[in-house]
Structure 1
Amino acid sequence: MKQQKFTKQFAEFLRIGAALVKQAEADALLIFAEGVCEWDQIKAGAGDTKTIIAADNEEALEGAKEAGLMPIVVELDESPILEKLTHALVESVADDIIATGASVVALYSGFDESRLDTISLVRLSEHLGRLTSRDLRRLETSVPLETLKHVIDLAVDIGREGREGKPVGTMFVVGDHRKVLHHSVASGFDPIKGYNRKERSIFDGRVREGIKEIAQLDGAFIINADGVVEAACRLVDVSSASVTLSKGLGARHWAGAAISKKTKSIAIVVSESNGTVRVFQNGEVMLRIEPFRRAMKWKDLDFDNAGE
């Protein structure tokens, strides 16, 4: 197993990182380890600072928990370091180590894998680029968890990637599909009409890729509780007079809120302007996901390098 030595530079970065946590009133110190470290020395150097240790595999974290540190396995061996850090932050939120609005000081090898050489202060968004099952269980719905997860993952992908370099806004309405169809009208051509159920299941990767291709068309995707797309390009025909939303949200969001209040469905709306995904139930925003990993840039996290 690869070892990462506790050098003078490591100790100095650790000292500066712990001091920055206190100075910036951050919530935790995150160290991305490139191998097994001398955990007791790290714990001693960090003192009473909440310290998260992330690494590519469990073997590299052996003994970290016993030393009083908080280990996070990333399992992204071939990915860029910023993506690894993103994943570590997501997992830390999912494990209730830090909150979604936390500030974290990160120490990592940005240039030379053999040693720590970069310190960054990261302020997390209200929501990270993916949800946990715990988040989804907050929704009191008969729609199976797996169906919701697949649809929301698809929506986040669309919000983050867009299509052919251009942002895309769209809406998915899941569950209570018969009433939803009754309260919506066709906008014209329905590209999924004529396909059998298997060819319309969002559990099929090819179907999800196909949805990405047509997501830029006007109207919503209507999906039943089993994850089968019942119709596409549907315009919601429900008054939004009984719902209240924040300023700046467009017609698609008002339609999503309205249909989720009129029926027992869950509406998932992707904002064309910034890729944000909002999940509506009973006319209210229940969850919000910021696709901050778009183009693998950290600017959406208010990412500042300490050395600048």
Structure 2
Amino acid sequence: MNPEARTPAATDSKSPATSPGGETLRLTENVKLLLEHAAAVAKAAEAAAILILWPGKADWSRVTGLLGDQKLIVAVDTPAQAEPLHNSKVHVVITNMPESSPQDRLAEALVECVTEEYVAMGNDLVAVYGAFDATSLDTLSLFHLSDYLGRLTVRELRQLKTDIPVETLKLVINLAIEIGREGREGKPVGTIFVIGDTRRVLAHTRPLGFDPVRGYSKRERNLFDAKVREGIKEIAQLDGAFIISKDGYVVAACRHIDCSADGISLSKGLGSRHWAAAAITRRTKAVAVCVSQSSGTVRVFHDGEVRMRIEPERKRVVVWRDTDGNPETAR
């Protein structure tokens, strides 16, 4: 997701930049002025916190002095960069994306701020980061998190470079978001949907036992039917993955993914369900949508990597936006 900010200082540049991991933040007059403006914007907007995207070293006592009584969150790239900050007064989030562009790292940091419960989905948050110069801070943005994290773009799905129709991807992701947000009968539910390249996917999976969709007609397995989706929510409480054809039919359910995760690297804390989703998308051309049972977070995997991460908000309908910015309410 590319950050969309509400201040003139924001940029939509997407060029990669090298992380300044080992460098010390120089508190030049321009940087100090930017931080003072960040504090003023945060106060005026009643923002919950100020996020600084800086994985290098800094005199954080001086930084907090410039920010006044505003809550400070620092986003770093690796656990090693977080170590020196553990005994300080700042809050820390880890993006695990050192080679990514500033915009991608910022997007991940915003999600992590909510995941770590430093801020809530309904809060405003001020972000300061280096969009033009990786060796300094040069950009100030204000985010309303429920607007930002509750908005997805069709363009992001098209960037997956798959032959799976966008409508099918949206359908399955929306279903996963509902499962992550609602659970079933008050209990959290985790599951995997594997979409496309069905023949190869089946070859890398095996049944766990009874397949609850076996014997049903194609019409009765069509996810574009709301009644079918409700039935899938019930089945999602069972172990195993759903195998979905690229045109939106449930081919099989309760399948164990049986392929190696060699060569795959995921963020610390992700469980076996996420490793299985990454592995099947590395071995096939499928896209996997994984719902975390612990948090309800939805991750979209392609080619062995996490390509999208969505935090379902409890009281908001997810809105998709097409490439020209027109909103399209999710099914």
TM-score (norm: length of structure 2): 0.54
Tell me how far apart the structure 1 counterparts of residues 256 and 40 of structure 2 sit (CA, whole Å). Answer: 48
Structure 2 residue aligned with 1:38 = none
Structure 2 residue aligned with 1:23 = 39
Query: Which of 267, 270, 285 is the matching residue for 2:288?
Result: 267
User: 1:278 and 1:24, CA in 2 relative to 1: closer, same or farther beyond 3 A?
Assistant: farther
Structure 2 residue aligned with 1:160 = 181
Tell me how far apart the structure 2 counterparts of residues 127 and 194 of structure 1 sit (CA, whole Å). Answer: 42
Q: 1:257 is matched by which residue type in structure 2?
A: A
Rg bigger for which structure?
1
Query: Which of 257, 266, 273 is the matching residue for 1:245?
Result: 266
Partner SS state of residue 149, structure 2: coil
Give 1:162-241 correspondences, 5 Å limit: 162-241=183-262
Give 1:59-138 correspondences, 5 Å limit: 121-123=123-125, 124=145, 128-138=149-159
Q: C-alpha root-mean-square deviation of aligned residues, in Å? A: 2.9
Moved segments of 4+, more than 4 Å: 99-102
Identity of aligned residues (%): 60
Question: Deviation string for 1:79-135 (max 9, x for gaps)?
Answer: xxxxxxxxxxxxxxxxxxxx8577xxxxxxxxxxxxxxxxx8423289723522122
Tell me how far apart the structure 2 counterparts of residues 260 and 126 of structure 1 sit (CA, whole Å). Answer: 30
Question: Deviation string for 1:43-87 (max 9, x for gaps)?
Answer: xxxxxxxxxxxxxxxxxxxxxxxxxxxxxxxxxxxxxxxxxxxxx
Q: 1:294 is matched by which residue type in structure 2?
A: R
Tell me how far apart the structure 2 counterparts of residues 170 and 131 of structure 1 sit (CA, whole Å). Answer: 21
Q: 1:122 is matched by which residue type in structure 2?
A: D
Q: Would you say how many aligned residue pairs link Structure 1 and Structure 2?
A: 193
TM-score (norm: length of structure 1): 0.58
User: 1:178 and 1:164, CA in 2 relative to 1: closer, same or farther beyond 3 A?
Assistant: same
1:282 aligns with 2:303: yes
Tell me how far apart the structure 2 counterparts of residues 201 and 21 of structure 1 sit (CA, whole Å). Answer: 53
Q: 2:279 is matched by which residue type in structure 1?
A: A
Tell me how far apart the structure 2 counterparts of residues 169 and 265 of structure 1 sit (CA, whole Å). Answer: 19
